[in-house]
Amino acid sequence: MNTTDAKRILETALICSQQPVPVRDLRVLFEDALSADSIKALLADLQQDWGQRGLELVCVASGWRFQSRPEMREFLDRLHPEKPPKYTRATLETLAIIAYRQPVTRADMEDIRGVMINSLILKQLEDRGWIEVIGHREAAGRPALFATTRQFLDDLGIESLDQLPVIDITAGDAPDVPALRALSDGAQTALLVESPSGIATTASIGPGESSHPTPQGTRDESEPA
């Protein structure tokens, strides 16, 4: 099989996929006749082929995917002009603490934020697929340890936690607004919006925005009633 045909196969598979596809799965397309390094080289070529188009081929935590370029957002938003529901600042602060200090317990988060954390905030983040319980601390009551998920990295459009923007989070000092903006915008935040073709569209979210609604009751002691 020549390079052109191999690239066409990869391109078609990625465009039609609803989720990022890892290299090991892409090898199945060629019955493992191509090595992982060969697949990666072809993907790099595809990235260059799409360099001047409205879509880009990117590698995120779960694998490779096509997505719209950030500069296309203002045009794509015209197809869906409604404003997305918002996350509260408390929810974003909690997410930032987990992302930068993981694994952490609920008590750890409360020490940093300086207030009690509403359990609905954690449930909301779990339901969104951004955090999960990865174990329990060997302490009184064996509290759950929370960490971010691969889906969280995918939605941010990054491969690893090392690519998060630098934020200094210390006990008793919750992330400020610029820090939250850095988490959501600085890392070129991308929310997956499913389309019939399987291509993801990118939509940067500010410190109070998300494509998923905030459940009623997601308020803690730091928020006004």
3-state SS track over 111-142: HHHCCCCCHHHHHHHHHHCCEEEEEECCCCCC
- CATH assignment of the domain containing 61: 1.10.10.10
Helix axes 3-16, 36-49, angle to 10 degrees: 80
Is 127 found in the same domain as 155? Answer: yes
Is 99 found in the same domain as 53? Answer: no
More confident residue, 193 or 72: 72
Overall number of domains in the chain: 2
Is 181 found in the same domain as 95? Answer: yes
Is 145 found in the same domain as 59? Answer: no
Q: Across residues 47-56, what is the average pLDDT?
A: 93
Alpha carbon 93 to chain centroid, angstroms: 16
| Domain presence at residue 200 | no
Q: Across residues 42-50, what is the average pLDDT?
A: 95
Residue from 29, 75, 86 nearest 205 by CA: 86
Domain holding 100, by residue range, is 89-186
Measured CA to CA in angstroms, residue 50 lies from 7, 31, 69 at distances of: 12, 26, 11
pLDDT digits (tens, 9 = 90+) for 63-115: 999 988 888 888 888 887 766 667 788 888 898 889 989 999 999 999 988 88
Domain end position, chosen among 36, 70, 104: 70
| Domain presence at residue 76 | no
Q: Is there a contact between 208 and 88 (Cβ–Cβ < 8 Å)? A: yes
